[in-house]
């Protein structure tokens, strides 16, 4: 057991923190939140120069050949800055699916472009039911064939050059990779609380070519399931980072906000809230890192990932809600960053399976019939 | 950063499991109540069995008969004992006193008491709290007067766990009443058989005896049985506080995991309105939630242990883990009672009791945990002030922890 990050992990974390503090301060996050597009292209390019989008991509395709632990540590820093970016759908989930299939010219070219930050991918999975399980997929799509249907809650569809669409084929679930400018694809923004850019994506007789199929026909779930787990874990790391920042905001506020002649941090009620926030952040963090280590080591990670996501979803939201209580009225203003972090945690708690879904995995893993 | 174990450590874990299979808990006579912390009942015979394997002293320096094993071995031992439901109640107390004697005990204590601890022949009660000194421990009044080669103790301790069945008390007493409250305290190892020791049982709400009150009437303790230096007792206590809290709770997560396993089995095999309790979505969800809490706690405790081994301060981390462990325990036992329904309150001796009638006992026992060893309210303040650097509430008296 060793809870210390390696020197390389420390460098990655520290440089990420410094970069994000400089280039993604809360004011920028708030400004992007108010823009319909809300995508900082310059920031994405800078991140690509740092090698971030390519972290999980093999070095021979221009990536960093990083481990799950590296990505999780990086995403925690992104969460700490409340960075709005397509990193998780593109560089974690879609990339994992692409990297898992036998190398082909098309997939290799796409991965290289993703590593460079020239292309961005997102995953279109959820439909009207709002459920993440394969049974909820009704959109039909065969390769070759035609795709007609609708996906909801697709993150960053507007900036994605490539859509990984999960559809139902004759043999089971198909993962299809389509360029987002293929005729028949319409992307409509959803009006969402917070700064996550979510879209309804409509497919009207969209042509699917044979080469659009990722992996084997009907076996899309084999690609999607581990990628979704990594996505869930990345969102958990993001929640930990964001919750950690909320804790810092609250501690600072408790120190400087004076009422009745003393900092409010001298009052036991506030102190006890903050002790609970520390508990929630720390307990969440080490579940995430344990799961990340399991992924990196190739050990059975499913129960650990589900445990982390379920716990973080509830604990980090508690931090956000209690954080509002501690910050008082000023935290209620749009101008104050607290709400951005709260909404980021809320969105992350839902993405790649909410607490209920992951608790069912935990339930089975502890032996419940 | 990694969270696995070495092959040797895994082999040791298997060695402990094999030992437990060969010596099942039921075979050991129980001398004192299981207080529900995860270490099971107090069993002198089991402690001696551990001692005979050398496991009670394995981390000690060689010059005191130990094997200087790394701390992880002790963690593994505790995890396996907790997971196995073993009766090792006195173990944490023995470890605490042994480490204190090794660290700053007299040669007499090292010569006379350590070997007994190693064999499992010496158990200890903690003599800190008094009727007027609980969370405000510094209000304690038990007096220790130096008289030649002895200290003479007069006073009254209460909430002394298992004092009536232990061999020695670790007694915090005032040696200098003129000094400020936090100075002038000393720690002494007091043999229960000394004249003047009057140890009286207190029946707990469970119906069984756990705590005692101890009246000390002119008890003459050899001066060599002073632990550390005179008037430095409180500083010693504070230095040990975070590690002691850790050792006394480290085994709670594996023990809770074991109880969770029993509850899962119960849910799978018990039908309510024709369907297994395991299919009740509320029960299912709550069992899964507490499973995630236990998993998080296990990581937090290993982290505190890792920090302690590296000499890092754990002034926020240790109390944080304790509070969470004890609150999670209460949550688990409340859930268990809920699952048992009408059967919950049935005690062990009822032929209709389920899960051995143990849940009602552990449920009641769990109520004391957030009070003992640092009440959660005090610890949350400690976490905030010493951990997050917040200012102390000026209304509180100075010199308190």
Nearest Cα of chain B lies from the Cα of A272 at a distance, in angstroms, of 5
Whether pLDDT at A76 is above 90? yes
Residue A43: which of A63, A23, A27 has the closest Cα?
A23
> In degrees rounded to 5, what are phi and psi of residue B220?
-95, 110
Establish whether this prediction's ipTM goes over 0.90: yes
B1 close contact with A: CB closer than 8 A? yes
Domain shared by A262 and A146, yes or no: no
Domain shared by A12 and A66, yes or no: yes
> In angstroms, how far is the first alpha carbon of chain A from the final one?
32
If you ran DSSP here, which 8-state letter would residue A265 be given? G
Residue A54: which of A85, A98, A95 has the closest Cα?
A95
For residue A171, being part of any structural domain is answered with yes
A130: Cα within 13 Å, side-chain hemisphere: 4
Nearest CB to A310 within list B268, B292, B300: B292
What are the structural domain ranges in chain B? 7-122, 125-231, 249-387
Q: Quote the CA–CA distance of B309 and B302 in Å, as a whole number.
A: 10
Whether pLDDT at A268 is above 90? yes
Nearest CB to B306 within list A3, A5, A283: A3
Structure token pair of residue A77 = 């820093």
Mean pLDDT, range A277-284, rounded to an integer: 98
pLDDT on residue B393:
81
CATH code assigned at A300 = 1.20.140.10
Q: B331 and B293 in contact (C-beta within 8 Å)?
A: yes
CATH code assigned at A127 = 2.40.110.10
B13 close contact with A: CB closer than 8 A? no
Residue B152: which of B79, B226, B78 has the closest Cα?
B226
Query: What is the architecture, at CATH level 2, of domain B7-122?
Result: Orthogonal Bundle (1.10)
Q: Do B288 and A366 touch (CB under 8 A)?
A: yes
| A to B CB pairs, distance under 8 Å | 163
Q: Quote the CA–CA distance of A80 and B111 in Å, as a whole number.
A: 54
The strand pairing partners of A200, in sequence order, are A188
Alpha helices in B227-280 (DSSP H): 233-247, 252-269
Domain shared by A138 and A208, yes or no: yes
Structure token pair of residue A354 = 């909410």
User: Residues 269 to 288 of B: which have CB under 8 A from any A CB?
Assistant: 276, 278-279, 284-285, 287-288
- Listing DSSP states for A189-212 in one string gives E---SSS--EEEEEEEEEEE-GGG
Domain shared by A208 and A243, yes or no: no
Q: Do B320 and A279 touch (CB under 8 A)?
A: yes
For residue A253, being part of any structural domain is answered with yes
Fold of domain B125-231: Butyryl-CoA Dehydrogenase, subunit A; domain 2 (2.40.110)
| CA A101 and chain centroid, separation | 22
pLDDT on residue B99:
94
Q: B74 and B135 in contact (C-beta within 8 Å)?
A: no
Residue B276: which of A207, A173, A367 has the closest Cα?
A367
Return the residue of A nearest to B260 by Cα: A366
> Structural domain tally of chain A?
3
Residue A154: which of A197, A191, A194, A94 has the closest Cα?
A197
A260 close contact with B: CB closer than 8 A? no
Strands (E), A211-284: 213-214, 258-259, 262-263
Nearest CB to B288 within list A5, A276, A363: A363
Percentage of chain A modeled with pLDDT above 90: 95
Domain shared by A106 and A135, yes or no: no
pLDDT on residue A304:
98
Chain A residues lying within 8 Å of B291, measured CB to CB: 307, 362-363, 365-366
Q: B386 and B316 in contact (C-beta within 8 Å)?
A: yes
Q: Do A279 and B392 touch (CB under 8 A)?
A: no
Nearest Cα of chain B lies from the Cα of A296 at a distance, in angstroms, of 10
CB atoms within 10 A of CB A349: 23
Q: A145 and A208 in contact (C-beta within 8 Å)?
A: yes
Q: Do A368 and B394 touch (CB under 8 A)?
A: no
Q: Which of A116, A136, A162 is the last residue of a domain?
A: A116
Q: Do B3 and A1 touch (CB under 8 A)?
A: yes
pLDDT on residue B120:
97
Q: Quote the CA–CA distance of B208 and B181 in Å, as a whole number.
A: 35
Contacts of B365 (CB under 8 A, 6+ apart): B33, B34, B35, B36, B204, B206, B210
Domain shared by A62 and A85, yes or no: yes
Instruction: Name the stretches of chain B with pLDDT < 50.
Output: 400-401
Domain shared by A196 and A273, yes or no: no
CB atoms within 10 A of CB A114: 28
Q: pLDDT tens, A29-49?
A: 999 999 989 999 999 999 999
Q: A191 and A234 in contact (C-beta within 8 Å)?
A: no
Q: A115 and A61 in contact (C-beta within 8 Å)?
A: yes
Q: A242 and A347 in contact (C-beta within 8 Å)?
A: no
For residue A62, being part of any structural domain is answered with yes
- Listing DSSP states for B387-400 in one string gives IT-PPPPTTSPTT-
A148's enclosing H/E stretch is strand A145-155
Nearest Cα of chain A lies from the Cα of B401 at a distance, in angstroms, of 15
pLDDT on residue A133:
87
SS3 state of residue A172: strand
Q: Which residue has the tokens 């040791």?
A: B12
For residue A1, being part of any structural domain is answered with no
B326 close contact with A: CB closer than 8 A? no
What CATH code would you report for B249-387?
1.20.140.10
Domain shared by A98 and A33, yes or no: yes
Contacts of A338 (CB under 8 A, 6+ apart): A246, A249, A320, A323, A324, A327, A331
Q: A78 and A238 in contact (C-beta within 8 Å)?
A: yes
Residue B22: which of B57, B41, B49 has the closest Cα?
B49
pLDDT on residue A124:
98
Domain shared by A237 and A334, yes or no: yes
Domain shared by A30 and A71, yes or no: yes
Domain shared by A309 and A193, yes or no: no
Q: Which of A116, A138, A166 is the last residue of a domain?
A: A116
What domain range is A227 assigned to? 221-365
Q: B168 and B181 in contact (C-beta within 8 Å)?
A: no
Nearest Cα of chain B lies from the Cα of A361 at a distance, in angstroms, of 9
Q: Do A362 and B292 touch (CB under 8 A)?
A: yes
Q: Do A289 and B289 touch (CB under 8 A)?
A: no
Structure token pair of residue A330 = 């000023």
Domain shared by A212 and A264, yes or no: no
Q: Do A293 and B291 touch (CB under 8 A)?
A: no
> In degrees rounded to 5, what are phi and psi of residue A43?
-65, -40
Dihedral sign of CA atoms B190, B195, B201, B202 in order: negative
Q: pLDDT tens, A83-129?
A: 999 999 999 999 999 999 988 999 999 999 999 999 999 999 999 99
A99's enclosing H/E stretch is helix A95-100
> In degrees rounded to 5, what are phi and psi of residue B24?
-60, 145
Q: Which of A116, A131, A155 is the last residue of a domain?
A: A116
Of the pLDDT bands very low, low, confident and very high (cuts 50, 70, 90), residue A261 is very high
Q: Quote the CA–CA distance of B182 and B137 in Å, as a whole number.
A: 9
């Amino acid at each position: 057991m060793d809870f210390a990050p390696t020197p390389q992990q420390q460098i990655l974390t520290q440089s990420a923190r410094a970069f994000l503090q400089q280039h993604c301060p809360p004011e920028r996050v708030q400004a992007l939140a108010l823009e319909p597009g809300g995508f900082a292209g310059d920031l994405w390019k800078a991140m690509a120069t740092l090698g971030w989008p390519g972290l999980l991509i093999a070095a021979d395709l221009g990536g960093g050949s990083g481990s799950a632990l590296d990505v999780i540590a990086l995403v925690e820093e992104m969460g700490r800055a409340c960075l709005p970016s397509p990193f998780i759908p593109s560089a974690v989930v879609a990339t994992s699916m692409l990297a898992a299939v036998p190398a082909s010219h098309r997939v290799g070219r796409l991965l290289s472009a993703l590593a460079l930050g020239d292309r961005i991918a997102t995953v279109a999975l959820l439909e009207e039911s709002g459920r993440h399980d394969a049974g909820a997929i009704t959109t039909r799509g065969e390769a070759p064939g035609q795709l007609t249907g609708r996906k909801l809650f697709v993150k960053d569809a507007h900036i994605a050059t490539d859509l990984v669409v999960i559809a139902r084929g004759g043999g089971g679930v198909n993962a299809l990779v389509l360029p987002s400018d293929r005729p028949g694809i319409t992307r409509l923004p959803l009006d969402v609380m917070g700064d996550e850019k979510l879209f309804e994506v409509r497919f009207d007789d969209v042509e699917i070519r044979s080469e659009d199929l990722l992996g084997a026909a009907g076996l899309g779930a084999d690609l999607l399931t581990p990628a979704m787990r990594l996505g869930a874990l990345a969102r958990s790391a993001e929640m930990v980072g964001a919750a950690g920042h909320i804790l810092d905001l609250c501690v600072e506020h408790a120190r400087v906000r004076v009422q009745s002649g003393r900092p409010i941090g001298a009052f036991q009620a506030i102190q006890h809230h903050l002790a609970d926030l520390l508990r929630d952040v720390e307990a969440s963090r080490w579940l995430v890192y344990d799961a990340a280590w399991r992924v990196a080591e190739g050990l059975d990670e499913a129960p650990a990932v589900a445990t982390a996501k379920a716990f973080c979803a509830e604990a980090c939201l508690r931090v956000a809600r209690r954080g509002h209580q501690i910050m008082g009225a000023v935290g209620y203003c749009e101008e104050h960053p607290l709400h951005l972090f709260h909404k980021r945690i809320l969105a992350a708690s839902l993405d790649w399976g909410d607490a209920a879904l992951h608790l069912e995995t935990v339930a089975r893993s502890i032996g419940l019939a | 950063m990694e969270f696995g174990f070495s092959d040797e450590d895994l082999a040791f874990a298997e060695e402990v499991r094999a030992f437990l299979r060969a010596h099942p808990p039921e075979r050991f006579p129980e001398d004192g109540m299981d207080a529900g912390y995860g270490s099971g009942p107090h069993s002198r015979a089991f402690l001696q069995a551990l001692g005979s394997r050398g496991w009670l002293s394995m981390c000690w320096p060689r010059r005191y008969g130990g094997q200087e094993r790394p701390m992880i071995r002790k963690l593994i031992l505790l995890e396996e004992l907790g997971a196995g439901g073993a009766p090792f109640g006195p173990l944490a107390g023995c470890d605490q006193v042994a480490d204190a004697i090794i660290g700053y005990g007299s040669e007499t204590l090292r010569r006379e008491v350590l070997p007994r601890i190693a064999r499992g022949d010496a158990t200890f009660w903690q003599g800190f709290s008094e009727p007027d000194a609980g969370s405000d421990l510094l209000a304690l009044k038990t007096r220790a007067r130096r008289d030649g080669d002895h200290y003479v103790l007069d006073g009254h301790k209460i909430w002394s766990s298992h004092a009536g069945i232990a061999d020695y008390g670790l007694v915090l007493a005032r040696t200098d009443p003129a000094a400020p409250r936090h100075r002038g305290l000393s720690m002494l190892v007091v043999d229960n058989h000394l004249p003047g020791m009057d140890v009286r049982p207190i029946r707990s709400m469970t119906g069984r005896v756990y705590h005692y009150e101890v009246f000390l009437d002119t008890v003459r303790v050899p001066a060599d049985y002073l632990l550390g230096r005179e008037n430095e007792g409180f500083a010693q206590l504070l230095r040990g506080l975070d590690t002691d809290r850790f050792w006394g709770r480290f085994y709670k997560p594996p023990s809770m995991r074991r109880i969770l396993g029993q509850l899962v089995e119960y849910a799978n095999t018990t039908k309510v309105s024709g369907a297994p309790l395991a299919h009740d979505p509320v029960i299912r969800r709550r069992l899964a939630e507490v499973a995630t809490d236990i998993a998080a706690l296990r990581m937090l405790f290993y982290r505190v242990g890792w920090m302690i081994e590296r000499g890092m301060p754990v002034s926020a981390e240790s109390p944080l883990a304790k509070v969470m462990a004890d609150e999670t325990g209460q949550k688990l036992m409340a859930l268990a009672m809920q699952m048992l329904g009408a059967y919950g309150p049935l005690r062990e001796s009822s032929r209709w009791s389920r899960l051995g009638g143990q849940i009602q006992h552990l449920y009641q026992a769990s109520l004391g945990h957030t009070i003992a060893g640092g009440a959660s309210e005090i610890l949350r303040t400690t976490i905030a002030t010493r951990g997050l650097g917040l200012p102390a509430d000026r209304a509180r008296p100075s010199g308190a922890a």
